[in-house]
Structure 1
């Protein structure tokens, strides 16, 4: 049986897991879809929006490439998406999940390193961390460009393990709000791959993806990982 107290690294997703964005991702996607000429209503828009929901947590440029076909249209959509999302950041629409910052601090005090990961670009991630006052909140922060591929590939988790100098994937816990987060953690071999109910996907979806635990919030993570 896994000894949770042996965890040395927690790899935490941002939007939906440690950060609440009040639907900003979907709103920013709508801006992106409009920018590449997708009809503003109807089946094509609805199907694209559903695809974005289903693939939450994945690298945004990869999602846009799958949706819009060409690299040029994907880049155009991604630029519009990031511009819109950064506007929501500036407007104060993005806030920490209650208890997230305290959970991260508690883990680090207990000697567990923390990595924050995202499907956004480095620039958007940096802007988000700055707006939250989180530039020093974690031991390291990673975007897909830092790892090679975003979720659902294992690259972000494995890159975090290497940079944190952790010696065994079985000493890693991964936490996220989407099935892509769960798949990424499982593919990386993490011992704990927990879903949270503060974001895109529900408990059934997270369990179907293979989550080892489902938490109401990342705020519950210290109790799972740290022995009394």
Structure 2
């Protein structure tokens, strides 16, 4: 969602800084800079997985994750997010074309719901998924893509699934799931080189271009 359909203006990094401070990592320190670089490189991955990598033991990782989710939720509640231009219209057009849209995220369910509420998107799509909804494994694992395929029953085979995201982890999850179309979008964390390296079939300026791409693909 963030970076693909939702423009959050860098709130992930701001929330991470708050979470790191909770663990005693001072903003502006060398340790903070090193950790922030890892956060940027792993955008799209489940946040608890990122914190497990950074802080090692489970208790510290969960403390950091809780602090992150609280900080991000507060920023969202403060009106700091907006749809990517054309994103809602694209989702509505896909639905009008008879396609089923599922929104996925690396955030926890509470944060995902806060984003949906802030945008007024609760009823926009029939299904939203976070890592916990797919057995706990987020991107780059294929679980959320496959969970969407199984739950919606909207396709006869996984090759009929299209996966779109702003990070290499989004792309990799789609490739691993066997999706027929896997596109990176230039509105978020990663760019063309990362998308192609991860196996993207397409790179788009924005998710707003998706309905036309799918219509052209038949």
TM-score by length of 2: 0.96
User: Within 1, Cα distance between the matches of 2:192 and 2:178?
Assistant: 21
2:169 to 180, 186, 205: 180
Asked whether 1:164 is paired with 2:141, we answer: no
Asked whether 1:48 is paired with 2:35, we answer: yes
User: Within 2, Cα distance between the matches of 1:62 and 1:174?
Assistant: 21
Asked whether 1:155 is paired with 2:143, we answer: yes
Shift of 1:66: 0.6
**Corresponding residue of 2:125:** 138
For structure 1, list consecutive stretches of 5 or more residues without a partner in the other structure. 1-13
Secondary structure of 1:194's counterpart equals strand
Shift of 1:77: 0.5
1:74 to 61, 68, 72: 61
User: Within 2, Cα distance between the matches of 1:85 and 1:206?
Assistant: 26
User: Within 2, Cα distance between the matches of 1:107 and 1:139?
Assistant: 12
User: Within 2, Cα distance between the matches of 1:40 and 1:101?
Assistant: 35
Contact 2:109 2:132 in 1 (8 A): yes
1:198 to 175, 187, 208: 187
Deviation beyond 6 Å, 4+ runs, structure 1: none
User: Within 2, Cα distance between the matches of 1:49 and 1:210?
Assistant: 25
| Paired residues for 1:1-228 under 5 Å | 14-148=1-135, 149-165=137-153, 166-227=155-216
Shift of 1:197: 0.3
User: Within 2, Cα distance between the matches of 1:206 and 1:43?
Assistant: 29
CA-to-aligned-CA distance 1:54-73 (integer Å, 9 cap, x gap)? 10001101100110111111
Secondary structure of 2:101's counterpart equals strand
User: Within 2, Cα distance between the matches of 1:74 and 1:31?
Assistant: 14
Secondary structure of 1:174's counterpart equals strand
Contact 2:20 2:64 in 1 (8 A): yes
User: Within 1, Cα distance between the matches of 2:9 and 2:27?
Assistant: 21
Contact 2:77 2:114 in 1 (8 A): no
User: Within 2, Cα distance between the matches of 1:19 and 1:204?
Assistant: 22
**Greater alpha carbon shift after TM alignment, 211-220 vs 42-51:** 42-51
Shift of 1:78: 0.6
Shift of 1:40: 2.4
For the aligned residue pairs, the C-alpha RMSD in angstroms reads 1.0
Shift of 1:167: 2.2
